[in-house]
A and B are shown apart, each in its own frame.
Chain A
């Protein structure tokens, strides 16, 4: 039965998407199906994490084709945690969408496409096959492009074109890298690759392929200097779409980097991970400076998405068990906080009627309770103790000091300080300052049903941020377990390929002599 538990993160949203699409034209029914599907996904995620905690890494061979011939799905701590947290975001966003999605967008298929996006996201987390990962990236790209363009305003189409064009470059480079890797080793099963790549003599070619993967996944994760599509497009679509994009999509890129650069490309860590350390520092700086330079609230948050990707890449680049654990912790923390911030920004816009910080204000007087709820993600973003952002930054800082990487430690501290400045500014402009035109109405002015749909996800996610902060120990234990699995790939490989000699691959790779002129 464990094989079915492993496939459930793909199966549940896929079935939900199909049911939503079958209910085309009946929007209320679609909403219920979408929410029920998201809750089911959450239950499956929780069961999967419990299963992995009890039984270790679990692999499932689809269609009963043995690895490396068939498609393998693998659930380890990292994958299970990511599925679980993605499911929580799906639930929050599905509820928020009840209150804030234009009816015509719903009629044009918001719910089925949203669930298809979840198929792509969860599929990327759970797959153990590099080409299969490419397929899930495509599923994500197509559905996210549809969600971006849904509604069809001029601004949206502009953002969607930039998004699609730049992401297609990333996809092309991904495909190229996959092809080269297949040519070198004759396999695309990740566990099998990990074994076979050790035998490849042309380390130069392997490093080149690794850099291609850094480009492909880095563009998805929006790292320096490949992040320009993100601030250009993320603020354009509907609020729930923005929130799920900001929360999940870039993190899939980070996840893919974490997976491939701990399992497959570990031959020349001095070069690949050293490169990523530079990327991490520059991403943090570029992101935080960008966020300080804009006055549009959601643009500022978009730049913050970029800045905090830098921290996770930093954890991967340091490549010690503590640093990887810190990166995993940071992933969990950041997904919750970013989704929460964008949902909050949507509500603030609804109340003040504006996106630009200069034209907003007076929210503290209008809704003190909302201000408290919004304070949590903002403070966590800046890393105030005891919230989740503090612990994740602390672990990464400790890891960098242990590895004597003082430059990146200093950069991360400076970026933290600048983020605090941004948070202070947002707090002053949004909550303390009087509204320049007229005092905004409180949430009491919104119809009760809609109000619940808009506020409940904010409360849920803020409570999660507080909980992760107060009970950091269990979260850290899971992150440490994930890091242990990532740093020592042997159990992963054994779970996929079984014990003993790996079976021969279907296509024998090129002999080194054939490649050389």
Chain B
């Protein structure tokens, strides 16, 4: 978990100073109402050329709605979205030509072969690049060359998703908007797509949405946390990570009587919070401990357990992750807490990524 917090550093350069002049995407007070429901309310942000922006939020927060407005699929109720300086509502065709878009469900024609489909997209986007070279470049980049002649309906979900990314890349648009590109993929595929996005971020401006934090954390330079249609937080990945690592939390797995252990642990100096988690083995519980900022309780903990002869079976740091920030920010507003599967998946992929 610890290394995960700092992966933003080596994954992407942080742009501290924003330059308005080369903003590739500029969103001003974007709002979308469906009747009385505010799907997106007054969102403003800019994305610089060559930046990877993460869009984070629980399901139904307004991520897809915002992306659909940016790509001209739906109109905004009010506000403005400029792509490369072109208003998406005033000159939709020109603005759309700057964008490669992967919607939540890739728009694939199942009855076509991969090659046929990409050729169609090439024509649809009126692409001027040399056809054969460009298509094979895109297929190589997304690793779908080996399925080029197969029907899309016979492909696995991972391949379909990659074909979806490939269609967004056709025409080499400066802006890539990817709506939950890794949803439904297995950990290995997630890693591959993530690596691909990082690679693409070198010469494209990318907006990426997800409800999995580790993903955004691993790939993006900047993060916008969106909840109930408004921006709840907006900062660089590094800053968000720094803010959250001050709270010092550890998780200890101790064998022994639960109530007594909790009582003893609560007596440690500087402890803010202690609670027993689920029973991991017979008579063995995990205890979550939170110390006051700046104090280290690990030595005291050791002394207590050795004094009582309670075997300490495991000790690990549970420094606050973006997951916690995310929950804190969105707490109490009907947010779906990531289920065990998501967490397991995220943890699994974290290891290999760093």
Partners in one complex: no
- Residues of chain A at the chain B interface (Cβ within 8 Å): none
